[in-house]
Structure 1
Amino acid sequence: MTRLLRLIATILLAASTATAHAQTTPVAALSGQIAQAEKDLRSVDRALDQRVEDDERAPLRSKAVAAQQAARAAAGQLEEQLGLIDARIEGLGPVAAGTTEAPEIRRERSRLAAERGAIDAAMKRGRLVDVEAQQLVDEMERSQAEQLNERLTTRVASPLAPSFWRAVLLSVPRDLRRIDLFLSQGASQIDAQWRGGFPWQAMFGAVLALLFLFPLRVWARTLGQRYLIGSAPGHRVRRSAYAIWRVLIGTVMPLLGAICLVQGFRWAGLLPDRWSSLLDGLVLATCFSALTAALAGAVLMRHQPSWRVAPIADETADRVRPLSWLLAALTFASILIEFFNQSVGASHAANVATQVLEASLHLLLIGAFLLLLGRLRAERAGREDANSLSTSAGLGIITLVAWALVAAALIALLLGYVGLSLFVARLVIWMVILGAALYLLMGGADDMATTVFNRDSRLGLTMIRSIGLRGSVVDQFGVLLSGALRIALVLVALGLLMSPFGGGGGLGSLFGRLGAFAQGIEIAGIAISPGAILRSIVVLAIGLALVRAFMSWLESRYLPATDLDGSGRNSVSLVARYVGIALAIIWSLASLGIGMERIALLLSALSVGIGFGLQAITSNFVSGLILLAERPIKIGDWIRVGLDEGDVKRISVRSTEITLADHSTLIVPNSELITKSVLNKTLSSPLGRIQIQFSVLLGSDVERVREIVLDAFAAEPAILDDPAPVAFVDAILDGRILFNCFAHVSSPRDAYGARSNIFLVLLKQFRDEAIDIGTVPQRLQLAPGEPTPFVPTPADEPAPTAPTTPK
């Protein structure tokens, strides 16, 4: 780990040195960059004076953000140059009173002042452009949220009401005439171009489209599979790479075919300009439906179950696959019909009727999928024991939420909120598609990073041998790289979540919409509103979920790849968990508008109460931090606290759990382990010691007794050879020889059983060889002479006893 940190520090130092030696951009160039940013912002501002559609807003927002970044970068460089100018002016020093400076110094001072004024003016212009750009971006996001809210809250006549169908029937004649005009214009264009010559461009485009759609797609998929089988390292990498390759080929090949077909028609001039939007819709519909079908095929792998990445049963894959084809067909038809209505200029009633039909089909498909999942789960429960089912609670919650969304969308559709119903249906399907893509990409990133950066891989062996890194460092880098890639993929997915529905602002835009639902009230400079509270709760939930995901990754992936023992992993895990929870709480409070200064003021006010009322808890908390830092007691140690001893199973910031010999758990406050004496039998060494003491008669064969003891030690499997067992003659007392014997076992936990086994062997061996063992006999002997007379009192007079005969 230290070498990895040194390597990273060397790279950062080299990068910072290269930056320091880079040439400074001239002020004129930076001023020109700011002027260009101002020009771009003015063009965006003029464009916003009119109504901006969804497809026009994204380029404008990108242009404003680019201008903001350019102005911000220029202002930052100007600020650095301004600091250098101030340092030079300060080096000249102030003009002393009554003295006259040299002409060279006056000219230098005047030049530096003029240069400083120019830099300061340009820097202020850059900051102003930054503020204006942010205001334009916020305005576009508010306008985008308002348009989305308008679409979602617009109510029309319910599809169950006769007025809805009456309006559709009244618009049918005019819509049919528009369709007829649209088709006739296309037919006339085709007829005119066909008479002028053979449209070989269209035919060539059609042939290319067929080639991309069928033979080239199959050939590319087969080629990728053969390459992965023969060259890719690791089964997991091959599976993930093949799944991603299938998605890529299944999406790109139909897309290229559609582009070739459309471009062939355009080059041949077969279709009028009015059909251009419809042709673009054909390309988009082909791309999206191909992506849907390819993702479903890569996840299910119905014909290649051994290459399946997701833990899906074969029966589930077979029964879900037809629904994926229906979903792909439905997405293709929905997009194409929407572009067709726009190209034809269909009436409002026709558009609403089309949306009702699309929403109904989407909800029907989602409901069929959920019913199929429920039926598969019920069939599995019928075949297997209910206790053996491994269905996660998360999947049940997701299914319940999906049913709730379907029910809400259906109710909204029946009430006339067609836009809201269609939005929910499309959002559910887009979340499924995005989730499938994220699952495959995250699995592929994890497999690739942990396989390439592994101590046993070629790259890992090269790094170990050439750089001198430890194998655990290479494994840690692979796990860290996997985590970073997966976090980046999650952030990209969150940014793409609302993109198809006019929400390109990402997660920040989503939270911004949550805050626009209610204004609320302001207390002490803090806005308290239902939207703010909901946003804070959502942020806290997301923060805790991120902490839980990070802790799962840390405990299951990263820490096992380190050289830390169990206690060290527990210490790192506890500190990371509490720090993560604290950051999640601070993030949640910050979303309410409570800054760090207010949080610090609140903590300082609570510190008095904590000091007086929570002394014991604070003492245990600080003691727990000391235990985690100094580690006098670690998880797995065998310790004795008072009269109890056992294994340390868990160390938290408040208490320590010790498992006793009777399988009960002793919970000891951490302050007891810091302020009182604790016997740690495994702190310096994990070995345990056995001590056996006994005595034999003075005339016994001492060498034979010692040999029997050492043989008993050698026959016991738990006794270690190093340190070797020993048997000492401890003393000769009262006609007996006292032996004191020692041996070692691998753990103090094994000492009791091994000691009992050795006693059983020794007792049997000594009995077979007639060796007398035991304690020194006690004799009672009265010395000759007259004893001291004793005259008892009546109260102390004992009861009469039998006379004692001396031995």
Structure 2
Amino acid sequence: MTVQRLFLALLLLFTSPAAAQEVSLATASAQLAQAEGDLRSVDRALDGRVDRSDRAALRAKAAAAQAMVRTTTGALEDQLALVDARLAGLGPVAAGTVEAPEIRRQRAQLQQQRGVLDAAAKRGRLAAVEAEQLIDEIARAQAEQLNQTLSTRSPSPLSPGFWTALVEAMPRDLRRVDGFVRQGAEQIARQWRGGLPWQAPAGLVAALILLLPLQKLGRRVGQRYLIGNTPGHRVRRSGYAIWSVIVGTVAPLLAAAVLVQGLRWAGLLPERWSGLLDGIVFASGFAGFVAALGGAVLMRSQPSWRVAPIADETARRLRPLSWMLAALTFATVMVEVFNRTIGVSRAATIAAQTLEAVLHLGLIGWFLLLLGRLRAERAARGDLDGASASAGLLSLVAWLLVGLATLALLIGYIGFSLTVARMIVWALVLGAALYLLMRAADDAATSVFNRDSRVGATLMHGLGLRGSVVDQFGLLLSAVVRVALVLLALSMLLSPFGADGIGTLFGRLGVLAQGIKIGGLSIAPGAILRAIVVLFVGLALVRAFLGWLEKRYLPATDLDGSGRNSISLVARYVGIALAVIWGLASLGIGIERIALLLSALSVGIGFGLQAITSNFVSGLILLAERPIKIGDWVRVGQDEGDVKRISVRSTEIALADHSTLIVPNSELITKSVINKTLAAPLGRVQIQFSVPLGTDVEQARRIVLDAFVAEEAVVADPAPAVFIDSIADGRVLFNCFAHVGSPRDAYRTRSNVFMALLTRFPDEGIDIGTVPQRLELAAPDGVIAPPAAAPAPPA
């Protein structure tokens, strides 16, 4: 039944509303009638005595009927909405007017169709409510049964009444056992006299082959495959652990099934033994799972393949306990099935439960004592860490539960004690399985979606994704899978004790699959999945268009690199916006809802997002008007450099010290910015110096022009020019200009010209010293003191 519920939930999860709308009225009526019949049969069955297994089957049947009803009702409501839209299109009949016969006939047909659809939809909604009530009733019955089991008190095993009841019921129980065994022996004797039943020995041989050599061969083959075909040691270890659990579970399960089937084909056992044979198969599979799980976690004989951070000594000491737990699991399942098959007395059942609780609590206590001893040894070596502290806390909680269960057992609450013991064991088994699955999921996701893996390389080269994006996707996928595993484990934690966690989980998934109403909008997992697919398809189309635009179309135009970047950037943002709108539309969010959302966001934009909006609009202005382009040499405040990138929020400028200045676009629009390459790409070099009055100025001019011509960066047009700026203080001031191909070359060229002049002028006897300064001292009482004599030259 669990498999059926899982299949139903997955089917409903990925069923699109569009497919549901194609259901005809006749088909919908038939589906509703079938669902109503199933619900009536569940209701009649609940009137009698129902055990736990029957109750689970009834709940699954009611959940399946509920899912069918909701799917059909959703399709009917969609068709009803279409009919209402067509009626609204016809409009109301105005008073005093007579409609055309065709319009009147169509209106009557639509109203009749609407009445039928509305009645069917109401019928479906009523059936859904009935199904919900039946499911709630079954859940309450399960909870009451669990409460009754926990609260029922029996005679204490320490009291004489416990043993008196057991002794009084023993003769009848022994007769039941004797009759059961004698019936089986007589059946075996009859079949044996008719000839050799070869099916039973063949089943036994096949079971032994599956249990011993094939199981070892399966593990060895899996290990070799992982070594030869799986990259990374983490995936190999976790994969081998999961494979060991699978092989260790399937091998004994198949061996028991083959053995039982051989016995049945041989006809050696009576029909009454059928339940016991099925119990053998189930007990073998579950005990094999427990033993294989313990071996996969501990890996005592293969420490290099161990997934869990467990020391070799710890693995060696704990491994026998896993075998004991598997044997105890097999024995308890078989005893419970045997007692139920032959119908033993209540006293014998309580005694068996008492023995099971004692064995479970003893094994748990032994396990906790061993863990405490190992932790004490590690503490003596100074080896404790944070995990050891967490393990100590869990051990303390387990000891408290063991003490509580022991006390309950001693005072007569056998069911409570056994439930607590089973819960501890089941939590341990489920926790170990969850740990292995989470490690395997994390290792697989982060190894497959990794920039160095084949899949990662394919994604990076095929879709142009960055390596970090591939790594992030692997981590996100790992997190999602592990969260799903934790939720599944939590739902399964109470399932063996009557809570039916798996059924509840998939029932909730079925409800979720129908969609959640949010403000008149139905959001379902199928719609979300469809929207994600549409969004990815839209983004892929945008990327393909941008690739064609940047590699094929724009190079064929006369635009420069900055213009191409502007067009490409605007096209990218417009394409992404269209892809998002397309995805929202596939989710059922129309343009009017998007406009309403934007109008609601405008209030927040007006108050809290002014700077971001200003920068965004400024970026669009920069891309449209292009006062600053990529490659321009600009000065912003005291900083100047090359414009490397212009986005809709900011502009990146590479400075001379190899740092990057990030300037908000609003600063470039609202403040003064010097663009040295906007009108022309040329840069200017300015040289200023002075020579004494009487110097051959023509010779000085020729030297400067020669220095300009000697520089390769100086362009011929416009030609270098030398001007006399002024004559002051006995010196002639020169102001010289030259142009270079780029402002980036101006500083270096200016330095080279200065060095050339400082070399040539002394060789030509031209003094380019500074203007001499004269100091005058003012005498007291306004008398001007004579000029101070110049200091005598040194000897």
Report the TM range for the smaller structure's normalisation. 0.5 to 0.7
Give the equivalent residue in structure 1 for 2:338: 340
Which structure carries more relative contact order (alpha carbon 8 Å, separation 6+)?
Answer: 2
**In the alignment, structure 1 residue 433 sits paired with structure 2 residue 429:** yes
Rounded Cα–Cα distance in structure 1 between residues aligned with 2:189 and 2:30 = 55
> Would the alpha carbon gap of residues 21 and 217 (structure 1) be closer, same or farther in structure 2, given more than 3 Å must change?
closer
CA shift in 2, pair 1:131/1:120, >3 Å: same
Deviation at 1:34, TM superposition (A): 1.0
| Pair 1:134 & 2:123 matched | no
2:154 aligns with one of 142, 153, 156? 156
> Which of 256, 259, 274 does residue 258 from structure 1 map onto?
256
Q: Distance in 2 between matches of 1:223 and 1:307?
A: 15
Q: Which residue pairs with 1:535 in the alignment? A: none
Change (3 A) 1:115 1:389: closer
- Do 1:209 and 1:257's aligned partners in 2 also have CA atoms closer than 8 Å? yes
> In structure 1, what is the Cα distance between the partners aligned to 2:55 and 2:660?
66
Match of 1:370 in 2: 368
State the match for 2:37 in structure 1: 39
Paired residue for 1:106? Answer: 104
Match of residue 305, structure 1, among 303, 306, 310: 303
Per-residue CA deviation, residues 389-446 of structure 1 (Å, 9 max, x unaligned), is: 4444432221111111101100100010000000000000000001111111111111
Task: Compute the displacement of 1:507 (Å).
Answer: 9.8
Q: Does 1:424 align with 2:420?
A: yes
Residue from 398, 401, 419 that aligns with 2:397: 401
Q: What are the residue-to-residue correspondences of 1:51-450 with 2, within 5 Å?
A: 51-384=49-382, 389-450=385-446
Instruction: Name the stretch that deviates more: 19-28 or 194-203.
Output: 19-28
**C-alpha separation in 1, matches of 2:289 and 2:157:** 32
Unaligned runs of 5+ in 2: 1-13, 509-604, 616-658, 664-774, 784-795
Whether the 8 Å contact between 2:279 and 2:334 is mirrored in structure 1 is yes
**Letter aligned with residue 492 of structure 1:** L
The 3 A distance-change label for structure 1 pair 330 and 783 is same
Q: Aligned partner of 2:398: which letter?
A: A
Distance 2:492 2:464 in 1: 42
Provide the residue aligned with 1:617 in structure 2: none
1:530-541 paired onto structure 2 within 5 Å: none
Q: Decide whether the 8 Å contact of 1:498 with 1:506 is kept in 2.
A: no
Aligned AA (2:253):
L
1:95, distance to aligned residue in structure 2 (A): 1.3
Are 1:494 and 1:506, in contact at CA under 8 Å, matched by a contact in 2? Answer: no
Residue of structure 2 equivalent to 1:501: 497
- One-letter identity of the residue aligned with 1:437: A
In 2, Cα distance between equivalents of 1:293 and 1:493: 19
Which segment drifts farther, 307-316 or 342-351? 342-351
Query: Which stretch shows the higher mean deviation, 338-347 or 369-378?
Result: 338-347
Displacement of 1:452: 0.9
Contact 2:211 2:252 (C-alpha < 8 Å) held by counterparts: yes
Distance 1:93 1:404, change over 3 A: same
- CA gap of 1:627–1:369, structure 2 versus 1, over 3 A, is farther
After TM superposition, the score normalised by the length of structure 1 is 0.62
Give the whole-Å Cα distance in 2 for the aligned partners of 1:125 and 1:141.
24
Distance 1:92 1:390, change over 3 A: closer
In structure 2, what residue type is equivalent to 1:464?
A: M
Q: What amino acid does structure 1 have at the position aligned with 2:82?
A: L
What is the CA distance between 1:683 and its match in structure 2?
9.3
In structure 1, distance between residues paired with 2:48 and 2:661: 78
Report the AA paired with residue 421 of structure 2. A
Q: Residues of 1 paired with 2:197 and 2:34: CA distance?
A: 46
Which residue in 2 is equivalent to 1:553?
none
Q: Structure 2 counterpart of 1:428, which letter?
A: I
Matched length: 526
Q: In structure 1, what is the Cα distance between the partners aligned to 2:385 and 2:479? A: 30
User: Secondary structure at 1:233's aligned position in 2?
Assistant: coil
Please tell me the residue identity of whatever aligns with 1:242: Y
| 1:326–1:782 CA distance, 2 compared to 1 (3 A) | same
Residue 158 of structure 2: SS of its match in structure 1? coil
Instruction: Tell me how far 1:45 sits from its aligned partner.
Output: 0.7
Q: Does the CA-based 8 Å contact 1:409-1:422 persist in structure 2? A: yes
Deviation at 1:309, TM superposition (A): 0.5
CA contact (8 A) 2:448 2:455 kept: yes
What is the CA–CA distance in structure 2 between the aligned matches of 1:251 and 1:345, rounded to whole Å?
Answer: 30
- Looking at structure 2, the residues matched to 626 and 161 of structure 1 have their Cα atoms a distance apart, in angstroms, of 77
- How big is the shift at 1:90? 1.1
Once the 2 structures are TM-superposed, how far is the Cα of residue 91 of structure 1 from its aligned partner? Answer: 1.1
**Structure-2 change in CA distance of 1:392 and 1:374 (3 Å):** closer
How far apart, CA to CA, are the structure 2 residues paired with 1:443 and 1:783?
Answer: 92
Amino acid at match of 1:343: T
Unaligned runs of 5+ residues in structure 1 are: 1-14, 513-621, 633-681, 687-779, 789-807
Structure 1 SS opposite 2:93: coil
Give the letter aligned to residue 122 of structure 1: A
- Letter paired with 2:41: S
Aligned to 1:362, what secondary structure does the other structure show? Answer: helix
The percentage of counterpart residues that share the same residue type is 61
Distance 1:423 1:242 in 2: 33
Contact 1:141/1:509, CA 8 A, preserved across alignment: no
> In 2, distance between residues paired with 1:39 and 1:468?
56
Paired residue secondary structure (2:338): helix
- Kept in 1, the 8 Å contact 2:20–2:75? The answer is no
Q: What amino acid does structure 2 have at the position aligned with 1:409?
A: A
CA–CA distance in structure 1, aligned partners of residues 412 and 110 of structure 2: 70
**How many angstroms apart in 2 are the aligned matches of 1:381 and 1:628?**
58
SS at match of 2:456: helix
Deviation at residue 139 of structure 1 after TM alignment: 0.2
- Cα deviation, 1:472-494, whole Å, max 9, x if unaligned, reads 22222212211121122112112
Question: CA–CA distance in 1 between the matches of 2:170 and 2:236?
Answer: 55
CA change 1:207–1:115 in 2 (3 A) is same
Give CA deviations for 1:23-42 in whole Å, capped at 9, x if unaligned. 72211111111111111111
Find the aligned partners of 1:186 and 1:21 in 2 and give their Cα distance. Answer: 55
Q: How many angstroms does 1:77 deviate by?
A: 0.8
**Residues 126, 203 of structure 1: alpha-carbon distance in 2 compared, 3 angstrom cutoff:** same
Tell me, yes or no, if the aligned pair for 1:381 and 1:389 is still in contact at 8 Å.
Answer: no
Equivalent position of 1:566 in the other structure: none
Q: Which amino acid aligns with 2:265?
A: W
CA distance in structure 2 between the partners assigned to 1:626 and 1:476 by the alignment: 29
Aligned 8 A contact 1:75 1:127 in 2: yes
TM-score of the aligned structures, taking structure 2 as reference length: 0.62
1:458 paired residue number:
454
Aligned mates of 2:339, 2:427 — CA distance in 1 = 26
Contact 2:23/2:72 (8 A) holds in 1: no
Residue 382 of structure 2 aligns to which amino acid in structure 1? E
- Alpha carbons 1:200, 1:268 under 8 Å: kept: yes
Q: Which residue of 1 aligns with 2:716?
A: none
- The 8 Å contact of residues 412 and 418 in structure 1, kept in 2 or not, is answered as yes
Rounded Cα–Cα distance in structure 2 between residues aligned with 1:19 and 1:73: 9
Q: Could you tell me how far 1:234 is from its partner in structure 2?
A: 1.4
Shift of 1:282: 1.0
